[in-house]
Amino acid sequence: MIVTKKTISRRAVLRGIGTAVALPLLDAMVPALTAAQNTPAKAVRRFGVVYHPNGVIYDKWLPKGVGTEFQFSPVLSPLEPFRDKLVVVTGLYSDQAEALGDGGGDHSRASGTYLTGVHVKRSDTVVENGISMDQIAAKAFERETQLSSLQLTVDDASLVGACDVGYSCAYSSTLSWLTPTLPLMAENNPRVVFERLFGTSDSTDGRVRASRLQQDRSILDSITDRVKALQRKLGPGDNRKVNDYLASLRDVERRIQKAEEQSAKDVPDVGRPEGIPDGFEAHVGLLYDLQLLAFQSDLTRVTTFMYGREQNGRPYPQIGVPEPHHPLTHHQNLPEKMEKCAKIQTYHIALFASYLEKLRSTPDGDGSLLDHVILLYGGGISHSDRHTHGPLPTLVVGGGAGTIKGGRHLVYPDHTPLTNLQLTLLGSLGVPTEKLGDSTGQLKELSGL
């Protein structure tokens, strides 16, 4: 049999003056022989972690019922439209985040241990942890993408100094550990993330940015002719994907530039990074959109995102909570404080739901990005007032290219290691791993197959 259909490279980019923009997955990227046999291309699996700090009001977070008959709790209610892609997992613990003779420091241990399952070293100068599960996945995928992984946070990040009772700031500022002694700094500036993804400039000099803003053109204008030439070779479906993708790209770029303009005009404090919107919600939305673009263009298949470091004191006046978050979580069972904590948690979930809707609306191969991604949402503290490390609030969202069966609430015996779930997720990603931190085995029920 002779197959003559030409295909576009899966890693094809649109190149222009100083710009290289990766393409989303197109039908024209399906190998010719595969297309001739009408066999769908193998779905690309992606993995993301979303971390929320300072614990939860567990009773307001926990759903009622188990299995497929569960009812959403007030905090999780924004996720009802995504029930078929959601698994709530309870009974998981991070026992290695307990003191184990080290005294205080629960917040640092909570985030430091979250993806490693290793009891971190107490020191403000020397760090010692384990390799995080996101980096195990990133190592497996790195040959397929330009970036092995992407670490994002809403807070400004620092890996030096002490942040919590003698623990290095590295433990609370990132979830990702390339080696037991090498944490990967998370980035909170959307402009820097955008440039890292799409290669415009790695400069953080404010004068360079101001000069760029004065140019009355998009960075994508230089590749317009190449886009038109490519689209003449594509079918209607692929043309729509390219147009939607470039529109999303321009929108993110426009919002970053607008944020820079606002920062320069309205925030005279020179210490504030440019490119960061004034409002928390706008900042989070932009960071979520950058993750979506990174997945859509297959520039990376692994991301981590932190709503804030542990002990974060951000107030939320936009939802009627003007008090700092962390002090509020030491509520001493006072109903008014607990209600405000629950409002913050619901707010975080609602912003996450907006991200899920965009993933669901973004075509990817024979489905959507939501069909193919696996997202782990949770935190390393359960009861915020007592600093307990289980049962942890944990969600798994996404289809995992057919490896995850949603619409369920799975309940495991107390002190089941969180790492058992993470070990299972690595297997679902096609990255089988024998051991992760304090793991004792996999949660075979997760697939539901």
212 and 178 both lie in a single domain? no
Give pLDDT, residue 319: 97
Whether 285 is in a domain gets the answer no
CA dihedral over 431, 437, 439, 440, signed as positive or negative: positive
37 and 51 both lie in a single domain? no
One-letter amino acid at 106 equals: D
245 and 364 both lie in a single domain? no
- Answer yes or no: is pLDDT of 402 > 50: yes
Cα separations (Å) of 7 from 3, 25, 31, 251, 447?
11, 12, 6, 29, 34
| Confidence at 270, pLDDT banded by 50, 70, 90 | very low
What secondary structure letter does DSSP report for 261? Answer: H
80 and 172 both lie in a single domain? yes
- Answer yes or no: is pLDDT of 405 > 60: yes
What's the pLDDT tens digit per position in 83-108? 999 999 999 999 999 999 999 999 99
Residue 437 contacts residue 419 (beta carbons within 8 Å): yes
What is the spatial distance between Cα 379 and Cα 129, in angstroms, rounded to a whole number?
18
Whether 292 is in a domain gets the answer no
Whether 281 is in a domain gets the answer no
Q: Identify the weakest region by mean pLDDT among 11-25, 59-73, 301-315, 375-389.
A: 11-25
Tokens of 64: 């009622």
Nearest to residue 300, comparing CAs of 290, 309, 313, 312? 290
Whether 181 is in a domain gets the answer yes
- Answer yes or no: is pLDDT of 4 > 50: no
- Answer yes or no: is pLDDT of 257 > 80: no
pTM, rounded to two decimals: 0.82
Helix axes 280-296 and 236-266, enclosed angle (nearest 10): 150
| Confidence at 386, pLDDT banded by 50, 70, 90 | confident
Whether 393 is in a domain gets the answer yes
Cα separations (Å) of 337 from 78, 163, 260, 328?
21, 25, 35, 6
Nearest to residue 289, comparing CAs of 213, 215, 234, 354? 354
170 and 308 both lie in a single domain? yes
Question: What's the chain's average pLDDT?
Answer: 84
Other Cβ atoms within 10 Å of 393 Cβ, number? 26
Looking at residue 362, which CATH number applies to its domain?
A: 3.40.720
Give pLDDT, residue 365: 86
Give pLDDT, residue 243: 76
Nearest to residue 92, comparing CAs of 446, 393, 387? 393
391: left (phi over 0), alpha (psi -120 to 50) or beta: beta
199 and 342 both lie in a single domain? no
Query: Which structural domain, as residue segments, surrounds residue 10?
Result: 1-42+193-275
Whether 293 is in a domain gets the answer no
Mean pLDDT, residues 378-382: 96
226 and 177 both lie in a single domain? no
Mean pLDDT, residues 43-60: 94
340 and 426 both lie in a single domain? yes
Out of 241, 275, 309, pick the residue that ends a domain: 275
Whether 280 is in a domain gets the answer no
Give pLDDT, residue 221: 65
Q: Identify the weakest region by mean pLDDT among 140-149, 213-222, 428-437, 440-449.
A: 213-222
Mean pLDDT, residues 3-7: 49
Query: In the chain, what percentage of residues exceed pLDDT 70?
Result: 78
The structure tokens 């995102």 sit at 305
Out of 275, 310, 334, pick the residue that ends a domain: 275
Whether 10 is in a domain gets the answer yes
What's the pLDDT tens digit per position in 316-342? 999 999 999 999 999 999 999 999 999
What's the pLDDT tens digit per position in 208-244? 545 554 554 555 666 666 777 777 778 877 777 777 7
One-letter amino acid at 54 equals: N
Out of 208, 240, 275, pick the residue that ends a domain: 275
What is the spatial distance between Cα 112 and Cα 128, in angstroms, rounded to a whole number?
10
What secondary structure letter does DSSP report for 93? Answer: E
Q: Which helix (H) or strand (E) holds 394?
A: strand 394-397
Give pLDDT, residue 217: 52
Mean pLDDT, residues 275-286: 89
159 and 15 both lie in a single domain? no
Higher pLDDT, 252 or 399: 399
- Answer yes or no: is pLDDT of 11 > 70: no
Tokens of 326: 């962390």
| Confidence at 428, pLDDT banded by 50, 70, 90 | very high
167 and 214 both lie in a single domain? no
The angle subtended at Cα 106 by Cα 100 and Cα 110, nearest 5°, is 100
Number of domains the chain contains: 2
Tokens of 50: 């979303």
333 and 375 both lie in a single domain? yes
What's the pLDDT tens digit per position in 284-308? 999 999 999 999 988 899 999 999 9
156 and 212 both lie in a single domain? no
